[in-house]
Copies of this chain bind each other. A is one copy, B any other.
């Protein structure tokens, strides 16, 4: 009897019905390395999910792993609340030197609870404190977390229903770039609202926005839209919060998703791949003059995961000391675009979505997209859907994936798409 067989019952017996990924990926995993995961039966899967972009550097990167093992072996701090530690100092110094200084950014770093939603909540609280305004504008198809403040900003109706009727207040919802079609000037519409004192929509405390909407269907805002949003914010005393939890840390092509844009976000929630190793870790970057927090005004037990400081520092040093990694991402992004186009070509009306290594194909139906992902999984590829109707097949491969393995994964995907599209067409006949 395989371990698989013996382990699976406990999940059904004991784990809450809220569990989700384990339903689609119906096996028990035991180890993982680079871009591959292995299950109890010794089967290996190429990972095009990468912990929903939490494993941008792949599983168990050897350098991070070595540093972490060394730290643990030597009784380095595992948990130190938000006390000062050498490892935390080294992380901060490295982040300052490799990320902030080269960009001329002078942001402070707030160690929030180690979840993206906590970083978002921190940003929302601070934006309201700083501006004295209550409402925040979030966008259609935005995803920002599951705790009440962040959930109010999240667009997904199913997630919102989880609040059980608790008021999701203090949010105005506006259309994301392209939400009403390419020819509708959504920034201009917002501006008309703010300029009209009887509109009922005042300039908000903040805009909370993802530059590529990871859960919302890989919608990528255009450079122009983002820059206009930034100018609109400045004009109205509104803070710009770029939620870079999923799109940041290289995923959209560079460390920040806004690196190539003329925009200066006031706050930037980071999480997912920030630790580099998949460890729970989140932080909020805050424009220096906005950092008016009182000590412990937002606190929490696990702010500053010490193990994560180590792997995060190694990740910065290894991947962001020069432009090499960024260029590598660009090359793979090109491959990805080309290959996804081939899939898109199979499905009438299909569209490429996203940018950088955060791309997918809108195949027009959630049913088809899920069939493709299911078929891919049966053939050794872990991949998920995204979008309002789960209609986007989304590729979130590790950015470090070797090209050959990447192509192999894309082969599996293309074949799965082909099979399913064919089946779909037959069914439709």
Closest B residue by C-beta to A26: B84
Chain A interface size, as a band, is 35 or more
Q: C-beta contact mask, A153-189 vs B, less than 8 Å → 1, else 0?
A: 1111111111111110111110100011000100011
Interfacial residues of chain A within 120-142, with CB under 8 A of chain B in the complex: 121-122, 124-130, 132, 134, 138-142
Q: List the B side residues contacting A83 at CB < 8 Å.
A: 21-22, 25, 29
Q: How far is the CB of A261 from chain B (nearest CB, A)?
A: 24
The contact of A201 among B18, B140, B149, by CB within 8 Å, is B140
CB <8 Å contact, B84 and A28: yes
Q: List the B side residues contacting A49 at CB < 8 Å.
A: 81
Is A102 interfacial (CB-CB < 8 Å)? no
Q: List the B side residues contacting A23 at CB < 8 Å.
A: 295
Cα separation A31 to B193 with both chains bound (whole Å): 43
Is A234 interfacial (CB-CB < 8 Å)? no
Say yes or no: A82-B21 contact (C-beta < 8 A), given A69-B72, A72-B68, A124-B166: yes
Closest B residue by C-beta to A50: B79
Q: List the B side residues contacting A25 at CB < 8 Å.
A: 83-84
CB <8 Å contact, A65 and B72: yes
Chain A to chain B: the 6 pairs with minimum beta-carbon distance, closest first: A79-B278, A128-B164, A148-B149, A155-B200, A16-B110, A147-B147
Is A73 interfacial (CB-CB < 8 Å)? yes
Q: How far is the CB of A202 from chain B (nearest CB, A)?
A: 6
Q: How far is the CB of A378 from chain B (nearest CB, A)?
A: 16
CB <8 Å contact, A141 and B196: yes
CB <8 Å contact, A164 and B127: yes
CB <8 Å contact, B284 and A16: yes
Interfacial residues of chain A within 223-260, with CB under 8 A of chain B in the complex: none
The contact of A200 among B111, B138, B305, by CB within 8 Å, is B138
Other A-B pairs, 15, CB within 8 Å; known A22-B84, A28-B84, A128-B166: A7-B86, A14-B92, A31-B76, A32-B80, A40-B86, A60-B78, A79-B277, A118-B146, A121-B146, A128-B165, A129-B164, A134-B167, A175-B193, A179-B192, A197-B388
Q: List the B side residues contacting A346 at CB < 8 Å.
A: none
CB <8 Å contact, B167 and A169: yes
Q: List the B side residues contacting A95 at CB < 8 Å.
A: 14
Q: Say which one of A286-294, A328-336, A405-413 lies at the interface with B.
A: A286-294
Q: How far is the CB of A13 from chain B (nearest CB, A)?
A: 8
CB <8 Å contact, A129 and B162: yes
The contact of A134 among B17, B33, B165, by CB within 8 Å, is B165
Q: How far is the CB of A284 from chain B (nearest CB, A)?
A: 7
CB <8 Å contact, A189 and B199: no
Q: How far is the CB of A324 from chain B (nearest CB, A)?
A: 24
CB <8 Å contact, B173 and A200: yes
CB <8 Å contact, A15 and B161: no
Cα separation A390 to B223 with both chains bound (whole Å): 37
The contact of A117 among B7, B125, B300, by CB within 8 Å, is B300
Q: How far is the CB of A373 from chain B (nearest CB, A)?
A: 14
Cα separation A79 to B18 with both chains bound (whole Å): 18
Is A355 interfacial (CB-CB < 8 Å)? no
Say yes or no: A297-B14 contact (C-beta < 8 A), given A21-B81, A147-B147, A169-B169: no
